[in-house]
Amino acid sequence: MTDVDLNDRAACGDGGTGGTWSPAVVWGLGLVLVAVTVGVCALHVHRTGSRMASEGHRVDFEVFHTNAGVAAARGNIYTTHQRQRIYPYLYPPLLVSLLRPLAGVELHRAVLLWNLLQLLLIPLGFELLRRLLRSLGAPAPPLLAGAAVVLCTWFFVDNIEWAQVNLVVWVCVIGALLALRADRPLTSGALVALAFSIKLTPIFLVLLVSALPLRRAGRWLGGFGLTLVVCGLVVPGLVNGFGWTWHMTAAFGQVLGRTALGTTQSLPWGNNCANHSLLFSLHHWFGQCAPRSDRLAPEAIEGLYLGLRLMVGLGTLVSAVLLRWRNDRSAWSLAVAQILLAMVLCNPITWIHHWVLVSVALAVLASVIFERSLGERYRAVAAGLTLGLAAVCVAAQQLESLRTGTLSVAHLGLWVGITALVLTLQISTVRGRLLQTG
């Protein structure tokens, strides 16, 4: 029997907040909060279309749309930017294959259809997040899910303004986490593979498999591997030809080798000081985007970023491995929040729309506050981290306006706090078990 089955509905909060509010009020508040985000995003659907028509505003969907047509003609989607004035395509071949039906539609209409789909994904993600919080024993899941979404509204809006694809990844990630909690590892692995076939950073979720029994881990990896073959080879092959798919997969490997290492060449269209990644935060303050008198050598920036990246990767790996010794809801929730922040921090190319995943981290981190099996001190630390993350999300636009790169540095600090908390919990558990066996 899974945690979802064991949770009592009243304790989980669908029945209210400890008797203070009725279930209808909790649901109503949650729906109002998510409706605020949907409404703000709907306004930006119109604004994006108007700006494209009147100001020639360019959106990221233009890259997807153009290359869907290039793929239909069996062209090289990774060299289109060398012939046309668009950004490079930096994704696996699946996305342009899925967008093939829109290749013949005018760009402004295709963008409108895509953004309308994104609007529908927001309430879908909210519902999946509500169910995930219920499985974690959080009170008032609709209210917590709605609050996490509305506090991250700027990240959702940025996806609409640029007609991006991160809301698809967001829904897949939440679905994968929910499936894992519901003891459906095959489905969870499949959803991670789908997300990974669009954006590579969801591969970090494989770390959670280390806490599963061997048979369930095998099922998760089986679902991941099978879906990866389908998304990486079968679907693009059926749509655009298997020969084309093979060559484009090899070409994507070369693009990935140039962009993923975290060097000054990570942005292939040049030195772009508008990027918000941790790498470019260092460049903003000490590197190519800083005044000449404050600059460090590029090698020093790359070395510093490599060190921070290794710290984030190893810290996340250690806490995931220790889930085998302590895998209760609080440790699992902290590990998930840690992994989601690590996805953003380890990506050398990070834009505001990528931070939509932080809404999930915020929600699961908040659930730890209500875990009664934890000591008061640990819950107080979790509450402080939750408030800090919420404050960063609310003030994100102001932070970046004040100084570009502050958002990444703030999230790095919060990642350190979450990591310290989860490792403290896990190490104390491991020490206790060793003393018992000794």
Q: Give percent of the chain with pLDDT exceeding 90.
A: 71
Q: What pLDDT was estimated at residue 14?
A: 56
pLDDT at 145 over 50: yes
Q: What pLDDT was estimated at residue 44?
A: 93
pLDDT at 271 over 70: no
Domain range holding 426? 267-431
What 3 state SS string does the chain have? CCHHHHCCHHHHCCCCCCCCCCHHHHHHHHHHHHHHHHHHHHHHHHHHHHHHHHCCCCCCHHHHHHHHHHHHCCCCCCCHHHHCCCCCCCCCCHHHHHCHHHCCCCHHHHHHHHHHHHHHHHHHHHHHHHHHHHHCCCCCHHHHHHHHHHHCHHHHHHHHHCCCCHHHHHHHHHHHHHHHHCCCHHHHHHHHHHHHCCCCHHHHHHHHHHHCCHHHHHHHHHHHHHHHHHHHHHHHHHHHCHHHHHHHHHHHHHHHHHHCCCCCCCCCCCCCCCCCCHHHHHHHHHCCCCCHHHCCCHHHHHHHHHHHHHHHHHHHHHHHHHHHCCCCHHHHHHHHHHHHHHHHHCCCCCCHHHHHHHHHHHHHHHHHHCCCCCCHHHHHHHHHHHHHHHHHHHCHHHHHHHCCCHHHHHHHHHHHHHHHHHHHHHHHHHHHHHHHHC
Q: What pLDDT was estimated at residue 418?
A: 98
66: in domain = no
21: in domain = no
Q: Give percent of the chain with pLDDT exceeding 70.
A: 93
103: in domain = no
Q: What pLDDT was estimated at residue 13?
A: 46
Q: What are phi and psi of 8, to 5 degrees?
A: -75, 135
426: in domain = yes
| pLDDT tens readout for residues 175-222 | 999 999 999 999 999 999 999 999 999 999 999 999 999 999 999 999
Q: What pLDDT was estimated at residue 327?
A: 86
Q: What pLDDT was estimated at residue 265?
A: 65
pLDDT at 15 over 50: no
* Residue bearing the bigger pLDDT, 5 or 21: 21
Residue 57's pLDDT band (cuts 50, 70, 90): confident
399-408 mean pLDDT = 90
396: in domain = yes
102: in domain = no
221: in domain = no
Number of domains in the chain: 1
What's the angle, vertex CA 266, arms to CA 399 and CA 102, rounded to 5? 85
369-379 mean pLDDT = 92
In sequence order, the 6+-apart residues with CB closer than 8 A to the CB of 94 are: 197, 198, 231, 232, 235, 236
User: CA-CA distance, 164 to 352, in Å (whole number)?
Assistant: 11
pLDDT at 311 over 90: yes
Rounded to 10°, the helix 153-161/23-54 angle is: 30
First to last CA, the chain: 32
42: in domain = no
Residue 367's pLDDT band (cuts 50, 70, 90): very high
Distance of CA 404 to the CA centre of its chain: 20
Q: What pLDDT was estimated at residue 380?
A: 96
pLDDT at 78 over 90: yes
